Amino acid sequence: MREPLRVLHAVVNMNRGGAETLLMNLYRSMDRKRIQFDFLTSFEGVYDDEIRRLGGRIYRIPSIRNGPKKYVKGLDTFFSEHSDTMIIHSHMDKLSGIVLERAEKAGVPVRIAHSHNTSSEGNRLIKIYKWSAGKKIKSSATHFIACSKEAGRWLFPDQNDYLVLTNTIRTETFLFNKMNRRRIRVQLGLNETHTLYGHVGRFQTQKNHPYLLKRFAAVHAAEPSARLILIGSGPQEHDLRKLASRLGINRAVMFAGIQEDIAGFLHAMDVFIFPSLHEGLPVSVIEAQTAGLPCLLADTITPDIDIQAGLCRFLPLSDPERWEKMMAGLIVRRNERRSRLIEKKAGLFDSKQAAEDLQSFYESRRREADRYGSDYLYTNV
């Protein structure tokens, strides 16, 4: 029996971020006798054990934070030791330019750049370096994928021919479940008199948590039984805790950390708030809608995220009073009948079809290499 085709994914780590969760949804839905995922990372992640159970391999190289020279050396060392790498699929924002340039130099025939965002994070110097790295993508990538048209236009401004692969979830996991709601609420010390607002995302500038805390403070002043749960971790957590204390809402805000049972926590919530400064196509908003949650979103987020179940409201960040009024009036009653409607609407975002499409894409590259040789892939992409 033929060995599965191994596809190497370049990421920072495999924690519960949007791109990483998408990768795991696709990986779980793949026919792993035909396609296997491996991961080139710089740090440990919460998905590492599951990846190994599924048959994936995890490789570590020095982080870009240790300096560009060490990062490039780590890439070169890896590719020299794994000269049989056929496909690399990079999810590194503009740094994909560096990853794919080194892969091209090492002779990796299929080099995919994947855009998951519409802007870069970091200070001015970091953004300048990323801009320089991003200029290499056009010449070093053989194929281009984006989670949305906006994400594609941002990372591939001079590239019209890119595949839009919509971010997906495992729909059945997130459909509303009353028992999940009751279980998590008991765990949090809440009853049905509490309105629970929620957010899922890394504590970093992009997610705009300070704005969320300030809006919640106004809502809590009018509704003392309101609570806010923040699921995630990141470099700004300490500052956000201090801000919650200054706003006088520290006892009403729960910093829940990284959670495995995201679906259960979404079922426990009443409103999902997402005031990001920029996004590609955020997986957590698809998950929240599938759980039946009304979602209040910044208008910086693509309307393509709306599954058309009447759950999304988009507002400009420049109008905080409208945010506060909308937050207080967004409660939706959830039940099984509504879940069946949502399941039908969310079907377009289910990971099974996306996994089949991506699997076919990978396998067509192998067939081309088998038929014409690896050199064909350099000049016929």
Residues 109 and 176 in one domain: no
State the pLDDT at residue 372.
53
Residues 340 and 282 in one domain: yes
Residues 9 and 117 in one domain: yes
State the pLDDT at residue 236.
96
Residues 221 and 312 in one domain: yes
State the pLDDT at residue 368.
73
CATH code: domain of residue 264 = 3.40.50.2000
Residues 328 and 355 in one domain: no
State the pLDDT at residue 345.
77
Residues 175 and 146 in one domain: no
State the pLDDT at residue 348.
75
State the pLDDT at residue 346.
79
Q: How many domains does the chain have?
A: 2
State the pLDDT at residue 306.
94
State the pLDDT at residue 127.
80
Residues 138 and 268 in one domain: no
Residues 256 and 117 in one domain: no
Percentage, residues of the chain above pLDDT 90: 73
Q: What is the mean pLDDT of each run of 10 residues along the chain (381 residues)?
A: 90 90 93 96 95 98 92 97 96 96 96 92 80 92 93 90 88 92 96 96 95 98 97 95 98 95 96 95 93 95 91 96 92 68 79 91 82 51 41
Residues 15 and 115 in one domain: yes
State the pLDDT at residue 114.
97
Residues 180 and 163 in one domain: no
Separation of alpha carbons 235 and 331, rounded Å: 31
Residues 143 and 185 in one domain: no
Residues 192 and 283 in one domain: yes
- The residue range of the domain holding 199 is 171-349
